[in-house]
Amino acid sequence: MSDHDGEPIPGLPAALPEGETILWQGAPDWRSLARRAFHVRLLAGYFALLIGWRIAIAVGDATLPTIDALAGPVILALVAMGLVCILAFLTARSTVYTITSRRLVVRSGIALPMTVNYPFTVLTAVALNEFPDGHGDLSIDLLRSERIGFLLNWPHVRPWHINHPQPTLRSIPASRVVGELLADAASRSFESSAAASVPSVGAVA
């Protein structure tokens, strides 16, 4: 059974209205997501310190730690990091980011999928946090009148921006290219809306 069964277009709850087109679809890279959203490296460092502390105590007592003494922390570390990596993989697999000519759509949720639409009319800025490996986080700032729940939308929000959460495309490949595409699409949408709101000038008889 596919994660997208029942969706007319993968990642979208309904067919696009007439005149709206998909410009890009993508998902987080689960390895990058594990490192930067789920902090698997920090977790590994914690267990490394824990194991090192046990070894230091044993050496201080003029004894050598036995394999049995270290087996517990090592197994616990492997299990914990394995679970975090699985969670990152499932999160990435169940997520679809969609940029259309009119909006950004975030489809996410492992057990209870949900879809959130962000029309370009509520977008005020686009910020890119690019990583050395080419992946990056692409955050959008919303009008102050637009409120979203930080925990409800995590990890698809900008880290530490809790008071005014910013929807974020996390750990996406080619993030700079996608950021330029999103900014250009939003600008074109604004220009079209502005042109449509200006009344045409007719000829004077």
How confident is the model over 58-105, as pLDDT tens digits? 666 656 556 666 777 888 999 999 999 999 999 999 999 999 999 999
CA angle 193, 106, 137 (to 5 degrees): 95
pLDDT tens, 140-164?
999 988 989 999 999 999 999 999 9
The model's confidence at residue 7, banded by pLDDT at 50, 70 and 90, is confident
**Domain 22-28+98-196 adopts which CATH fold?**
PH-domain like (2.30.29)
Tokens of 205: 């008889």
Per-domain residue ranges of the chain: 22-28+98-196, 32-91
Closest to 173 measured CA to CA, from 115, 130, 141: 130
Residue 9 DSSP class: B
Q: Write down the residue that tokens 């502005």 correspond to.
A: 194
Question: Which amino acid is present at 189?
Answer: S
Q: How long is the chain? A: 205
Instruction: Reduce the DSSP state of residue 18 to 3 states and report it.
Output: coil
How many C-beta atoms surround the C-beta of residue 34 within 10 A?
24
pTM recorded for the entire structure: 0.85
* Residue 54 vs residue 183, higher pLDDT: 183
